[in-house]
Amino acid sequence: MDSIDLEVLKTCEQWIRQGRKCELVTVIRTWGSSPRPEGATLAVSEDGHVMGSVSGGCVEDDLIAKVRQQGIVHMLPEIVTYGITADEAHRFGLPCGGTIQLAIEPLSERSRIGELLAQLSQHQLVARRLDLATGEVTLGPARAGMSMQVSEAALTTVHGPRWRLLVIGAGQLSAFLAQIAIGMDYQVTVCDPREEYRDSWSVPEVEVVHAMPDDLVIDMRLDARSAVVALTHDPKLDDLALMEALKSPAFYVGAIGSRANNAKRRERLKLFDLTDADLARLHGPIGLYIGSKTPAEIAISILAELTAVKNGVQLPAAMQVENAKCAAQQAASEPSCGMDS
């Protein structure tokens, strides 16, 4: 599963190879309640086919209609704005008078989309600079944490996985988690020293690293754009890796397991050189309580919690697995919500 950004670029490259005229549309600025964030992209071909989204459908309809009526007429990049007035906001379906500014770029071989995709296939983080006056494109390495930059002269967009996710364990749950995370722009690394799990790995886009997880955590030099999820249920593999991850700047560290096992894990981790503040960063039982049972549902639960933390969203305590299960037990008039399941 590719991210939407990558799907758009691949579609553009295919159209260029086929000799079809096309444009790449990028959201470069928003005001008010815009349905799509800055950096969102849309590809539109001369026959009105599209890939991606810049507004959730309303502005796309106008862009498609213009292409079908006039064809691809831009010779150079153009900046356009939708939704300045209340009437326009109503016409284009923008909520609460929201306004978006778009860069419309006519594509050709000189747009270097193929070169960009080649670099992205090597998991590189790439900055693509578009000269707004000439349409010339240059590619270069992007810094971790770099965001889109817009000036009167140029638009620089950042492509490639901007977040890293280390998954410890190569089981079925890890496969679902990895597939979804790739679509969310994570560079996913799976670590498992157990040969039987590596041999049955089924996600070709993600390589399983044969190493001890704690060694890999150190080697990866985790930063504030990194997350670690331990899914093996094996303390020999999970605990040391969690210890190293909790001492790192990683924005999210979580481990699967029951409430009872989570309590035991915290007691074990106290024996290592971890502070109370370090232990407080551990998410476990992992995920949000959504009644998940299957591996696919559990993967969604984990990524929902991880996404909330990444985006700085404070979730109600009732959505945590431990608290939700305690509440469910109390509602069923059980004598205790002890950590036994």
Q: What is the pLDDT of residue 275?
A: 87
Q: Which two tokens stand for residue 75?
A: 């010779």
Q: What is the pLDDT of residue 74?
A: 87
Contact 170, 213 (CB under 8 A): no
C-alpha–C-alpha distance, residues 151 and 156, integer Å: 9
Q: What is the pLDDT of residue 341?
A: 33
Contact 92, 65 (CB under 8 A): no
What's the distance, CA 52 to chain centroid? 15
Rg for the chain (alpha carbons), in Å? 23
Neighbours of 111 (CB within 10 A): 21
Q: What is the pLDDT of residue 35?
A: 67
User: What is the mean pLDDT of each successive set of 10 residues along the chain, which is 341 residues long?
Assistant: 80 96 94 76 93 82 90 92 69 66 95 95 90 96 87 93 91 95 90 92 89 95 93 92 94 93 91 88 91 93 95 83 70 53 33
Contact 38, 28 (CB under 8 A): yes
Q: What pTM was estimated for this model as a whole?
A: 0.72
Residue with tokens 């399983």: 208
Helix axis angle, 172-183 to 295-310, nearest 10°: 40
Q: Which two tokens stand for residue 62?
A: 């106008």
